[in-house]
């Protein structure tokens, strides 16, 4: 009888797992979707391709199909788990939405789906229908979050802004690129304008390092890589809108390169967060994939051998980082989702995402 009472008091392993799961785990799907898009574009033939590009084209198509299928499986699994979390732990989802860090990762699932849609190897597919299905939640989140920044609300940008806030901008830019690829140029330009206008305000706010934007826990410092992810994504989106990697795209690419060099030249900044493996480590992979994609577009435009070499090196670095993180994730699953407590505190729901 006492054993039955204890079993009713203690939540099941499944409910504990759902309680600990949060939108921050969609970092994994964003990274893999970025890889799928990167290697799809690298395998496409270009004019005046060099020997390095010819080597890439020798890779079997089945390898890319396996990567895309694995990415789809992981993204579907994460999405289903989060849907179950919404059903069984709606209060925790609401808390996540109200948290200044956790709310930004609500863009991550839709960014992942948009990138996966762009990298799809299938020709006959309801792309436009799915595109709007994944875009509408981003617009809804824009209205909710951006509206609180400049209208009367509880959360002001100066107090809630942090590096993860750039995910909202990436969501708009990913949507703009998807719309441009599908042929919706005017709507794509609208999404691009919305994202960039808020990015300028957000970047200045983060650059000033105000009290709210300078209080990110050390465990989340890998998200600093989002600083060069935004201009990289912006250059890709703008080149898709204009159908060429023009001067403005190059400016955005050069900004992303500068921010990338600024971060990697300060390894001590990431010393504390590297002591223990967490899901935050997946924040390294996705920005590297975007930077490699932007460098690849720049190399195709200028046609310089050195640019092609840099693009290939960045692609390989992003690939090795993703593989390393996948291996660590498999070997250290317990570190990814600690099961000691079924409740998500402010540190695990907000600081941990």
Give how many domains the chain has, as a whole number: 1
349 lies in some domain: no
94 lies in some domain: yes
348 lies in some domain: no
CA distances from 85 to 79, 91, 350 (A): 10, 10, 16
How much is the mean pLDDT over the chain?
A: 84
5 lies in some domain: no
Closest CA to 34 of 288, 279, 249, 235: 288
129 lies in some domain: yes
343 lies in some domain: no
Q: 344 — phi, psi (to 5°)?
A: -100, 120
CA–CA separation, 92 and 107 (whole Å): 17
126 lies in some domain: yes
pTM score, whole prediction: 0.89
277 lies in some domain: yes
- Which structural domain range is residue 278 located in? 22-43+62-334
pLDDT tens, residue order, the chain (353 aa): 444 445 445 567 778 888 888 888 999 999 999 999 998 988 877 666 666 667 777 777 788 889 999 999 999 999 999 999 999 888 888 888 888 888 899 999 999 999 999 998 887 677 888 899 999 999 998 888 877 766 655 666 767 788 888 999 999 999 999 999 988 999 999 999 999 998 998 888 888 776 555 567 788 889 999 999 999 999 999 999 999 999 999 999 999 999 999 999 988 888 888 888 888 899 999 999 999 999 999 988 887 888 888 989 999 999 999 999 999 998 887 766 655 433 334 344 344 45
Tokens of 163: 């590096």
Secondary structure in 3-state letters for 222-282: HHHHHHHHHHHHHHHHHHHHHCCCCHHHHHHHHHHHHHHHHHHCCHHHHCHHHCCCCHHHH
Say what the pLDDT of residue 304 is. 83
Give me the CATH number covering residue 231. Answer: 1.50.10.150
Query: Cα dihedral sign for 123, 128, 130, 131?
Result: positive
CA–CA separation, 67 and 35 (whole Å): 8
């Amino acid at each position: 009888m006492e054993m039955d009472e204890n079993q009713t008091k203690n939540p099941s392993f499944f409910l504990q797992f759902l309680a600990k799961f949060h939108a921050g785990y969609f970092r994994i799907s964003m990274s893999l979707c970025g890889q799928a898009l990167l290697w799809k574009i690298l395998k496409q033939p270009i004019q005046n391709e060099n020997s390095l590009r010819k080597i890439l084209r020798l890779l079997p198509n089945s390898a890319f199909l396996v990567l895309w299928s694995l990415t789809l499986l992981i993204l579907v699994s994460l999405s289903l788990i989060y849907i179950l979390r919404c059903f069984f732990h709606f209060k925790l989802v609401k808390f996540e939405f109200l948290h200044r860090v956790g709310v930004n990762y609500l863009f991550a699932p839709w960014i992942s789906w948009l990138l996966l849609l762009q990298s799809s190897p299938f020709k006959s597919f309801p792309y436009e229908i799915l595109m709007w299905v994944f875009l509408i939640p981003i617009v809804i989140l824009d209205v909710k979050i951006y509206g609180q920044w400049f209208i009367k609300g509880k959360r002001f940008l100066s107090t809630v802004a942090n590096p993860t806030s750039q995910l909202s901008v990436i969501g708009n830019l990913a949507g703009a690129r998807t719309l441009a690829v599908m042929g919706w140029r005017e709507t794509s330009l609208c999404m691009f304008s919305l994202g960039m206008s808020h990015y300028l305000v957000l970047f200045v706010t983060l650059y000033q390092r105000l009290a709210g934007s300078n209080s990110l826990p050390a465990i989340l410092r890998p998200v600093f890589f989002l600083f060069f992810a935004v201009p990289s994504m912006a250059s890709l989106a703008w080149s898709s809108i204009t159908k060429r990697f023009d001067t403005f795209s190059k400016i955005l690419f050069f900004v992303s390169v500068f921010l990338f060099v600024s971060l990697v030249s300060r390894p001590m900044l990431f010393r504390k967060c590297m002591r223990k493996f967490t899901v935050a480590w997946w924040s390294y992979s996705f920005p590297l994939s975007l930077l490699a994609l932007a460098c690849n577009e720049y190399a195709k435009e200028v046609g310089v051998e050195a640019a092609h070499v840099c693009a290939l090196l960045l692609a390989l670095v992003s690939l090795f980082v993703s593989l390393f993180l996948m291996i660590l994730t498999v070997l250290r699953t317990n570190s990814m989702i600690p099961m000691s407590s079924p409740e998500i505190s402010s540190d695990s729901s907000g600081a941990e995402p």
